[in-house]
């Protein structure tokens, strides 16, 4: 069970859990958010373009993240497994991923949706204090999630790949449930 898509709103705990699972199952944690923040810090052409969207809580255009993922999934360390955290985030990206995996003869095992109520997400994000986490930006990121990303729950349900995990319990409890879900496949 080595190819996993983590779905969920910002603040749902995807990144934290992805780190644990990545260590536990020895598969790379691929976070488009981390890759974009790195590009912003390096002031690469991609970073300069992406920053304007990220600062407002908007999604970066599909074409930019699609290129990142195509490149990353081609690396040797991603050939026998991966966790995608924060990608796909739109139906266009999810369709691209299906096409790319077909092209490189891979399949995902599960799309795991971390379920957390909005009010809890806002609390968590305000507490986290990352510099893209001001209250207005947080609210916009949640709106964007509901408009553009939450349709992916149905997308993966229709492909019979969706599993829901209750993300509104302690980090340790989420980890335990997650490991069971992944082992069961």
Kindly list the residues in this chain that would bind ligand AMP in the complex (CB under 6 A): 10, 32-33, 36, 53-54, 57-60, 65, 86-87, 89, 93, 141
Distance in Å, CB of 120 to ligand AMP, minimum: 16
Number of helices followed by number of strands (H, E) in the chain: 9, 5
Please list, residue by residue across 134-156, b when 16 or more beta carbons sit within 10 angstroms of its beta carbon and e when fewer do. Answer: eeebbeebbebbeebbeebbebb
Nearer to ligand AMP, 28 or 57 (CB): 57
The DSSP call for residue 76 is G
Q: Kindly tell me which of 52 and 176 has the beta carbon lying closer to ligand AMP.
A: 52
Distances (CA, A) of 43 to 33, 39, 47, 131, 142: 15, 6, 5, 17, 26
| Shortest Å, Cβ 86 to ligand AMP | 3
If the CB atoms of residues 63 and 176 are measured against ligand AMP, the closer one turns out to be: 63
Burial of 5 (0-12, 13-18, 19+ CB in 10 A): buried
We find the least distance from the C-beta atom of residue 29 to ligand AMP, in angstroms, to be 12
> 């399949």: which residue's tokens?
107
CA–CA separation, 64 vs 82, rounded Å? Answer: 20
Closest distance between ligand AMP and the C-beta of residue 119, in Å? 18
Nearer to ligand AMP, 2 or 47 (CB): 47
By beta carbon distance, the residue nearest ligand AMP is 33
Smaller CB distance to ligand AMP: residue 14 or 185? 14
Residue 128 CB, nearest approach to ligand AMP (Å): 10
Tell me which DSSP letter residue 85 carries: E
């Amino acid at each position: 069970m080595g190819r996993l898509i983590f779905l969920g709103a910002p603040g749902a705990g995807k990144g934290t859990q992805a780190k644990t699972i990545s260590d536990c199952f020895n598969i790379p944690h691929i976070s488009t958010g981390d890759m974009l923040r790195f590009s912003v810090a390096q002031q690469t052409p991609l970073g300069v373009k992406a920053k304007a969207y990220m600062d407002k809580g908007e999604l970066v255009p599909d074409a930019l993240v699609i290129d990142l993922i195509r490149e990353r999934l081609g690396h040797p360390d991603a050939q026998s497994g991966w966790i995608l955290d924060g990608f796909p985030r739109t139906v266009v990206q999810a369709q691209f991923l299906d096409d790319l995996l077909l092209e490189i003869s891979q399949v995902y095992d599960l799309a795991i949706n971390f379920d957390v109520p909005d009010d809890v997400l806002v609390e968590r994000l305000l507490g986290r204090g990352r510099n893209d986490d001001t209250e207005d930006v947080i609210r916009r990121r949640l709106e964007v999630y509901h408009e553009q990303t939450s349709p992916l729950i149905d997308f993966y349900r229709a492909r019979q790949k969706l599993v829901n995990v209750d993300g509104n319990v302690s980090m340790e409890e989420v980890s335990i449930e997650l490991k069971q879900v992944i082992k069961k496949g």
